[in-house]
Amino acid sequence: MISLNRKADCSGCGACVQKCPKSCIVLQTDEEGFLYPSVDENSCVNCGQCSKVCGILSPYLEQIPKYVYGAQIKDDVILAKSSSGGVFSSMAINVLKKGGIVFGARFDKDFNVIIDSVDNVDDLEQLRGSKYVQAFVGNSYVHAERLLKAGRLILFSGTPCIISGLLHYLRKPYENLLTCDFVCHGVPSPLVWNLYISQLQSKCGMLCGQPKFRNKKKGWQRFSFSYHVEYDKEEMTVYSDHQDNIYMKAFLSDLILRPSCYDCKFKKGKSHSDITLADFWGIDKLYPSKFDDRGTGLVMVNSDKGLGIIKELDCHKWLVDFPKVMQYNSAFFKSPEMHPNRSIFFEQLNICSENVEKLIDKYVYINLYQRIKDYVKSYIRKRKTAKFIRGGGNLVKVSFRNKKNGWLKYELSFVFELNNK
């Protein structure tokens, strides 16, 4: 029987629920909006299947990519709609044209994020684009297993914990399964998202179509949160810069992430996906001739199967140096730091949820002392990350008034360089 002593020990993948032969495990929502397993002890036969498929109880080993590419889809229309370089869309189209099925995250009619599947290119739009909310996996592992046993080609995409959950659930390799995860910052609370959307609609009216967390109208690096509303019988798009949007502030400041995200057990390639995708942050500094503000993806190939499909993609792609590019994608190695106001934020949210924007605005900012303390911790973690990459790094600059986010929002910052060992 699976036993949960700490909420940080559950990623919410739902593998245990789907594997239970007696259906005695259900997922229940806690006061923060996250799902956790609950076992009916009277129905449990102690078969141990739930524990065997838990990616946290039985973690995979770390793995370094075999190859790393910079990539950008050649189709300009799809590139504009994609969060980054359109690599996921290119892979999905490749699989769909072969008669396969693609699993990924989409919005339902109430703007909840769920894992679902599509079998044609027209429906692929639903899965395209980043969705910064924890997805409900449902019975997607069961569905994928049935299709795999029937011989269908499957591309299954999701967070590292979702992919690890799938592979643990299946417990055997399938040649007709291709898995794809991404470098994950963490998954925000569905409760906070639902309250934010509800408040948004109370002010602006019903949303039309799906919101976009990574609208590239102002460019890939200056992406915006956008949504569509009907105004005076016409559809209007509303944009807010990701640094100004209150929900994105809560997400990027690590205020509303799942407890397990702050000590993620699936970093450093532990999901064992075939492909890991990321934004190619730092391309303007590392490979300036390749920089394109329409978006470029980073593709980490973890298996021969993954390499096979990458070679087939209709993308511009080139090999890059893994240690070099990881300087700008440290989330591959390290978990986010828990926001010091996280606990009090959720306490207050359960007392007064009418104005989630006001609560976020109140608790998202932290005082200078705490920022200094957090940056020192962050620097120590960066040293550990640097050691993992190349064997160490050196502090070269400290700035007490870094104005990257403006004069009034100055930060303490550290600059360090990696040793070329």
Do 72 and 179 share a structural domain? yes
Higher pLDDT pick, 366 / 247: 247
**Cβ partners under 8 Å of residue 271, min gap 6:** 55, 60, 160, 161, 163, 164, 167, 179, 181
Locus of tokens 């709609």? 81
**Cβ partners under 8 Å of residue 244, min gap 6:** none
Looking at residue 238, what DSSP letter applies?
E
Looking at residue 5, what DSSP letter applies?
S
Do 47 and 93 share a structural domain? no
Q: Is 140 domain-assigned?
A: yes
Higher pLDDT pick, 387 / 412: 412
Do 325 and 265 share a structural domain? yes
- What pLDDT is attached to residue 417? 61
For residue 88 the two structure tokens come to: 């996921």
Q: Is 32 domain-assigned?
A: yes
Sheet hosting strand 207-215, strand order edge to edge: 207-215, 224-231, 234-241
Rounded average pLDDT over 140-163: 98
Nearest to 181 by CA among 263, 268, 249, 98: 268
Q: What is the CATH number of the domain that holds 19?
A: 3.30.70.20
pTM for this model (two decimals): 0.87
Per-residue pLDDT band at 416 (split at 50, 70, 90): low
Q: Is 223 domain-assigned?
A: no
Locus of tokens 């893994």? 322
Residue 384 has pLDDT above 80, yes or no: no
User: Cβ–Cβ contacts within 10 Å for residue 174, how many?
Assistant: 17
Do 40 and 115 share a structural domain? no
Do 110 and 26 share a structural domain? no
Do 140 and 44 share a structural domain? no
Per-residue pLDDT band at 4 (split at 50, 70, 90): confident
CA 93, CA 286: separation in Å to the nearest integer? 30
State the total domains in the chain.
3
Range of the domain at 315: 67-188+257-332
CA 55, CA 166: separation in Å to the nearest integer? 9
Residue 363 has pLDDT above 80, yes or no: yes
Q: Is 107 domain-assigned?
A: yes
Phi, psi angle pair for 287, to nearest 5°: -135, 65
Rounded average pLDDT over 365-392: 60
Per-residue pLDDT band at 370 (split at 50, 70, 90): low
3-state SS class at 25: strand
* Span of 63-77, 201-215, 269-283, 285-299 with lowest mean pLDDT: 201-215
Q: Is 234 domain-assigned?
A: no
Q: What is the pLDDT of residues 106-123, one digit of tens each?
A: 999 999 999 999 999 999
Q: What is the 3-state secondary structure (H, E, C) of 203-226?
A: HHCCEEEEEEEEECCCCCCCCEEE
Residue 140 has pLDDT above 80, yes or no: yes
Do 131 and 162 share a structural domain? yes
CA 63, CA 302: separation in Å to the nearest integer? 8
Per-residue pLDDT band at 338 (split at 50, 70, 90): very high
Rounded average pLDDT over 330-356: 93
Cβ-count burial of 335 within 10 angstroms (0-12 exposed, 13-18 middle, 19+ buried)?
buried
For residue 196 the two structure tokens come to: 């934010």
Q: Is 411 domain-assigned?
A: yes
Q: What is the pLDDT of residues 18-28, one digit of tens each?
A: 999 999 999 99
Looking at residue 136, what DSSP letter applies?
B
Do 145 and 115 share a structural domain? yes
Q: Is 34 domain-assigned?
A: yes
Rounded average pLDDT over 69-73: 98
Q: Domain boundary at 332, 358, 389, which?
A: 332
CA 327, CA 342: separation in Å to the nearest integer? 28
Do 418 and 317 share a structural domain? no
Q: Is 225 domain-assigned?
A: no
Do 135 and 71 share a structural domain? yes
Do 288 and 161 share a structural domain? yes
Do 162 and 302 share a structural domain? yes
